[in-house]
């Protein structure tokens, strides 16, 4: 497969690379975008609190004599990289060239953790191992599928000499990196000297993408990061407010966009909202949502590390920010369905996205699903279009449509319908590819295909609460408006982005000469 990213000039800034996503998607290869990261193999340095996770499982057949507590007879022990080390392992699994810079003990746990990192292909040259330090461990004790207890072993303070040794490693560790990820879990190892060393390197080497994943993102404002990734609680702490999980937390943090950006001094804030996905808040009102595909309760850990790793790898490889965010959400969805601390590989992510290739629902099946959603009190939003070559205008529009209700249904024109609308040389992507790409977006719940010239027949059956349409229309111009209003729904006209169009993307692709040759 020709790597579309390699057709871009090497010195193109990430912000100017929106065409990279378009070039991949025009071939109907949304599921192959993760391979672009591995092909580019960006260099990423992870600086942070490395931990060892343990999962000890066994059986319970009796209670102990000393107290009314169950006795777990441990039959199996598994270990995994945790914290910043888990971020590093996930980056390596996606094809990045990774250096781990952190502080661990010269103890059994530290040696085991270094071995896990080495086996994953992470460069541990800058992983400082000090006999005066205890490696942070988090051991879960399980009986069956139930976590009975978690044992955390953390240090009570770090020697100044050990922190100084870590700070001394920073210049060499981050030099030449395409991205630097700071994973600060509040151990104290990254305070003072280490933070100052990173801030100096950010000034000297501004070309790297800097991502901060910290309990206190505001504490890293001097770094002027490109992206910070607080969770809901951490964002609330920065803002000095309380976020109620029963309310629209995305709207609450979006309303304080300016305050979050100012407090963190970041170019972009991505607030992770666990089961509610994420919200991206950028300058000039930029906003993008992702929507999680939550699992039934499993004993999963580290999905946030996977999210940060995937987001960083994609940005370091030059993928657009919104594409990177959607990929990161997909990667988190992969690991949250697995027990224990796990990683998402390129193959895992590709397979996850490819499963959406045949997800267009027949009308009868769609109606059954929507009926169940409506019975649960959910508002149904319907929109339609060709969506031939997915671009940023499309994703912005679909995110806006999702926010009009609870369930977003996207109806795609079949191939004959696209030809009638766009001409004999369209569609570029056949319906199977178009459906797979749209279904893989986290904001989309259901995809269906229609063959009629208008959507009126489907509207009559589906009876949406909201019919969303993008473009320079008014509700009065749409043939579907009377049908929507007759079933008690309303029409919503969303933003029109004239500089983002399929025709413009196709024109740009056709004007781009192939790598190493003439057009």
Q: What is the DSSP string of 358-387?
A: T-EEPHHHHHHHHHHHHHTTPPEEEEEE--
User: Of the candidates 384, 375, 388, 389, which has an alpha carbon nearest to the alpha carbon of residue 467?
Assistant: 384
Taking residues 445-464, report their average pLDDT.
93
Continuous H helices in 41-107: 84-93
Classified as helix, coil or strand, 221 is helix
Under 8 Å CB-to-CB from 132, ≥6 apart: which residues?
A: 159, 161, 162
Classified as helix, coil or strand, 72 is strand
What span, in angstroms and rounded, lies between the C-alpha atoms of 476 and 474? Answer: 5
Indicate the range of 95-104, 323-332, 439-448, 497-506 predicted with least confidence. Answer: 497-506
pLDDT of 499 above 60: no
Count other C-beta atoms under 10 Å from residue 300's C-beta: 17
pLDDT grade, residue 359 (50/70/90)? low
Q: For residue 257, what are its two tokens?
A: 């966009």
CB of 290 closer than 8 Å to CB of 329: yes
Q: Answer whether the bond into residue 427 is a cis peptide, omega within 30°.
A: yes
Higher-confidence residue of 415 and 98: namely: 98
CB of 318 closer than 8 Å to CB of 96: no
pLDDT of 52 above 80: yes
Count other C-beta atoms under 10 Å from residue 192's C-beta: 13
User: What pLDDT is attached to residue 475?
Assistant: 76
Classified as helix, coil or strand, 31 is helix
Active site residues: 305
Question: pLDDT by residue (tens digit) across 219-265?
Answer: 999 999 999 999 999 999 999 888 887 788 988 999 999 999 999 99
User: ∠ CA 18-217-121 to the nearest 5 degrees?
Assistant: 65
Pairing of strands 268-272, 278-281: antiparallel
Taking residues 84-92, report their average pLDDT.
97
Indicate the range of 16-30, 31-45, 103-117, 150-164 predicted with least confidence. Answer: 16-30
Share of the chain above pLDDT 90, in %: 53
Higher-confidence residue of 122 and 284: namely: 122
Beta strands in 195-235 (DSSP E): 209-214, 227-228
Q: Which H/E stretch holds residue 486?
A: helix 481-486
Taking residues 493-509, report their average pLDDT.
63
pLDDT grade, residue 513 (50/70/90)? low
Question: pLDDT by residue (tens digit) across 392-438?
Answer: 788 888 989 999 999 999 999 998 899 998 888 888 888 888 888 88
pLDDT grade, residue 510 (50/70/90)? low
User: Of the candidates 50, 87, 48, 60, which has an alpha carbon nearest to the alpha carbon of residue 309?
Assistant: 87
Q: For residue 443, what are its two tokens?
A: 């904001």
What span, in angstroms and rounded, lies between the C-alpha atoms of 52 and 224? Answer: 30
Number of separate helices (H) and strands (E) present in the chain: 19, 21
Under 8 Å CB-to-CB from 501, ≥6 apart: which residues?
A: 391, 393
Taking residues 494-519, report their average pLDDT.
58
What span, in angstroms and rounded, lies between the C-alpha atoms of 223 and 204? Answer: 11
CB of 112 closer than 8 Å to CB of 139: no
pLDDT grade, residue 507 (50/70/90)? low
Question: pLDDT by residue (tens digit) across 117-157?
Answer: 999 999 999 999 999 999 999 999 988 878 889 999 987 78
User: Of the candidates 333, 402, 43, which has an alpha carbon nearest to the alpha carbon of residue 207?
Assistant: 43
Higher-confidence residue of 48 and 471: namely: 48
pLDDT of 366 above 80: yes
pLDDT grade, residue 376 (50/70/90)? very high
pLDDT of 87 above 80: yes
Pairing of strands 97-105, 127-130: parallel
User: What pLDDT is attached to residue 86?
Assistant: 96
CB of 215 closer than 8 Å to CB of 197: no
Higher-confidence residue of 349 and 124: namely: 124
User: ∠ CA 41-45-50 to the nearest 5 degrees?
Assistant: 125
Pairing of strands 287-290, 278-281: antiparallel
Indicate the range of 179-188, 273-282, 428-437 predicted with least confidence. Answer: 428-437
User: What pLDDT is attached to residue 377?
Assistant: 93
Taking residues 210-215, report their average pLDDT.
96
**In this structure, what is the dihedral angle of CA atoms 449, 451, 455, 457, given to the nearest 10 degrees?**
-100
Burial 64-73 (b: 16+ CB within 10 A, else e): eeeeeeeebe
Share of the chain above pLDDT 70, in %: 86
User: Of the candidates 324, 332, 246, which has an alpha carbon nearest to the alpha carbon of residue 291?
Assistant: 332
Instruction: Please report, for residues 18, 261, 391, 415, 507, the alpha-carbon distance to residue 510 in angstroms, rounded to integers and kept in the order given.
Output: 16, 39, 16, 21, 5
Average pLDDT, rounded, for the chain:
85
pLDDT grade, residue 505 (50/70/90)? low
Q: Which H/E stretch holds residue 73?
A: strand 70-83
CB of 170 closer than 8 Å to CB of 100: no
| Half-sphere CA count of 59, side-chain side, radius 13 A | 2
Domain architecture of the chain: domains with CATH? 14-354 (3.40.1190.20), 360-508 (3.40.50.620)
């Amino acid at each position: 497969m020709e790597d579309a990213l390699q057709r871009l000039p090497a010195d193109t800034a990430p912000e100017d690379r929106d065409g990279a996503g378009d070039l991949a998607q025009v071939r109907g290869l949304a599921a192959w975008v993760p391979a672009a990261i591995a092909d580019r193999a960006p260099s990423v340095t992870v600086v942070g609190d490395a931990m060892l996770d343990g999962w000890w499982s066994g059986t319970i057949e009796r209670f102990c004599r000393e107290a009314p507590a169950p006795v777990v007879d441990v039959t199996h022990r598994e270990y995994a990289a945790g914290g910043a080390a888990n971020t590093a392992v996930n980056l390596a699994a996606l094809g990045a060239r990774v250096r781990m810079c952190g502080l661990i003990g010269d103890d059994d746990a530290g040696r085991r953790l270094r071995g896990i990192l080495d086996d994953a292909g992470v460069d541990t040259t800058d992983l400082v191992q000090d006999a005066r330090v205890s490696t942070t461990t988090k051991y879960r004790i399980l009986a069956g599928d139930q976590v009975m207890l978690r044992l955390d072993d953390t240090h009570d303070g770090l020697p100044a000499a050990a922190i100084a040794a870590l700070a001394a490693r920073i210049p060499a560790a981050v030099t030449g990196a395409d991205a630097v990820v700071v994973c600060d879990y509040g151990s104290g190892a990254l305070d003072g000297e280490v933070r100052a060393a990173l801030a100096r390197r950010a000034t000297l080497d501004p070309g790297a993408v800097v991502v901060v994943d910290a309990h206190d993102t505001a504490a890293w404002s001097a770094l002027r990061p490109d992206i910070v990734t607080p969770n809901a609680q951490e964002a609330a702490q920065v803002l000095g407010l309380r976020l109620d999980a029963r309310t629209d937390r995305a709207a609450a943090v979006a309303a304080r966009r300016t305050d979050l950006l100012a407090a963190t001094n970041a170019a972009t804030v991505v607030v992770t909202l666990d089961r509610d996905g994420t919200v991206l808040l950028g300058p000039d009102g930029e906003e993008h949502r992702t929507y999680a595909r939550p699992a039934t309760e499993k004993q999963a850990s580290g999905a946030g590390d996977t999210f940060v790793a995937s987001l960083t790898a994609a940005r370091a490889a030059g993928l657009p920010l919104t594409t990177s965010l959607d990929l990161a959400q997909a990667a988190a969805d992969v690991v949250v369905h697995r027990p224990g601390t796990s990683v998402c590989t390129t193959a895992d992510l590709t397979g996850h996205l490819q499963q959406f290739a045949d997800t267009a629902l027949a009308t009868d099946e769609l109606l059954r699903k929507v009926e169940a959603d409506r019975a649960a009190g959910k508002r149904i939003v319907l929109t339609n279009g060709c969506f031939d070559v997915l671009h940023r205008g499309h994703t912005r529009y679909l995110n806006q449509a999702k926010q009009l209700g609870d369930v977003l249904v996207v109806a795609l024109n079949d191939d004959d319908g696209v030809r009638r609308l766009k001409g004999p040389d369209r569609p570029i992507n056949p319906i199977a590819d178009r459906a797979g790409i749209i279904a893989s977006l986290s904001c989309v719940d259901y995809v269906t295909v229609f063959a009629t010239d208008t959507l009126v027949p489907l509207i009559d059956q589906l009876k949406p609460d909201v019919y969303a349409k993008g473009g320079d229309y008014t509700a009065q111009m749409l043939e579907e408006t009377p049908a929507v209003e007759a079933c008690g729904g309303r029409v919503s006209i969303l933003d029109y982005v004239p500089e983002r169009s399929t025709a413009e993307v196709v024109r740009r692709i056709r004007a781009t000469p192939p790598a190493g040759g003439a057009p």
